Structure 1
Amino acid sequence: MKKLIYTVCAALFTITAAQAQETIEETTTTRTTVKSSLGNETVYKTEKVSTVTPTQLDPAEEGQLNQTLQRGNTIVKREVTYTYNDSEFDLKESEDGYTIMRTRDNNTSEYGTMRQLAKGDVYLLKTANGISVSYFDEDGNMVSEEYNNDDDSVTTVTYKIKKSPTSTKF
């Protein structure tokens, strides 16, 4: 009976170790206060970076002691949230740019798409309101400049990166 319990424990440990992965998560929050003619506005930017490396035991060494651990390709996932006028905007990476999801009053909907232009650090932003050119400033905020055909002017909107009160590193 004792041998059976040891065998079952060893088998469960081997299966668990074979499906393991190394995960590192880092969350950074930045808080910015902007003074304008409307008063002080606090903007938050939250950036979460997850790094996952899948691991498995070498199948050629199955059943041996001190098996070699093989690491797969490392996957890095970034999640960035911006706030503007009591709405949160989440940028989700897609095959050809970003999809922007907007959360307002606990309702989430697709707000628009961003496609990278040839310059590399400039994006074309398409929303229901129209098309604009966007880029990220040195603080990580997204700046969008939209041309208004009616009065021949350019309107600039800054989406501040969301920040939480504390910064946590795992």
Structure 2
Amino acid sequence: MPLKKTTLLLLFLFLLGSSSTFAQCERLSNKRIYQLLGASEYDNSRISEIKTLDYSMKEEYQIDLFKGVVYKLVFDVSEMPEGVVINLHDIGNKRGVNKYELVFSSETAEKTKDDTYEITLEFPQKKLMVSYDIINDTKPGCVAFVLGFYFKNRIR
């Protein structure tokens, strides 16, 4: 009986150690978050892992917002592979059945010198939809998203 427990414990420790070595997306440091946000205040962040697949895929998530606030959205794409398109839709502005106003697309936007996309939204509706369109056979990578807001006296 003790041999089974020892074997299971060793197997568990091996799997735990090997799974952490395959994790490629790291959490952004506080220093990096504040570099990305500049004068805006931190609200939220998210790291999305891009995996290699044999088929095209779309990953989506929603961001809840408050009306009457100016927001700064930053996508750190320094580790994003080719073949991924970032789209941002304002869910509050519906343009028909399941059609929302496109606020941002990485296909038409220019990256900053430090491999980021920065978007400032003045008084958006209540929700935004972020989607990553990933074509098949895309190399693995990461996209980091950081959300900030401005106080009225510090809008830049």
TM range (shorter): 0.3 to 0.5
Structure with higher Rg: it is: 1
User: Relative contact order: is structure 1 or structure 2 higher (C-alpha 8 Å, sep ≥ 6)?
Assistant: 2
Structure with greater strand share of residues = 1
Structure with greater helix share of residues = 2
**TM-score, normalised via structure 1 length:** 0.31
